């Protein structure tokens, strides 16, 4: 899996051990139900155009991120309204998504070192949850 900063074509690689935890929770139709004064059901619905959440969580003993990559993601998350391309790079899954960081739900969270001790180099491994919103 990789994340591409579209503005500069800069790319960071994310280990294959991330799981898209909310992939099947997205409902493409928004629906509102109400009742008229006489009890008649009023249904309004429409197709969502964007905003699908993509939450990447590390699977057990997988989905590690080097400190240097985590720092880069942290920097990128600070670029307001910038769009990135998230590319799934698996033999069975090569989907691409135009995304922004989901700041409302905590763009990068649950950060911990794999060893459980403070990092001593840029290559030390971390786990983290990364949250995006699909925008197109």
Q: What is the pLDDT of residue 113?
A: 87
In Å, how far are 27, 42, 55, 72 from 1, measured between CA atoms? 24, 44, 13, 15
Q: What is the pLDDT of residue 90?
A: 83
Entry pTM: 0.86
- Across 2-11, 25-34, 74-83, 86-95, least confident range: 86-95
Is 92 in a helix, a strand, or coil? coil
Q: What is the pLDDT of residue 89?
A: 86
- Give Cα 132 to chain centroid, integer Å: 3
Q: What is the pLDDT of residue 115?
A: 80
Q: If 0-12 CB within 10 Å is exposed, 13-18 middle and 19+ buried, where does residue 86 land?
A: buried
* pLDDT, mean of residues 27-54: 95
Domain coordinates in residue numbering, the chain: 2-134
* pLDDT, mean of residues 5-20: 92
């Amino acid at each position: 899996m990789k994340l591409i900063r579209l503005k500069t074509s800069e790319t960071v690689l994310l280990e294959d051990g991330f799981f898209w935890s909310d992939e099947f929770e997205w409902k493409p139709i928004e629906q509102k139900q109400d009742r008229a004064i006489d009890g008649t059901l009023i249904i309004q619905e429409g197709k969502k155009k964007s905003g699908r959440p993509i939450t990447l969580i590390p699977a057990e003993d997988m989905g590690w991120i080097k400190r240097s990559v985590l720092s880069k993601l942290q920097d990128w998350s600070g670029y307001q309204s910038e769009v990135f391309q998230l590319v799934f790079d698996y033999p069975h899954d090569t989907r691409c998504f135009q995304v922004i960081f989901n700041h409302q739900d905590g763009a990068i969270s649950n950060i911990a070192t794999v060893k459980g001790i403070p990092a001593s180099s840029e290559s030390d491994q971390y786990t983290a949850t990364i949250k995006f919103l699909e925008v197109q």
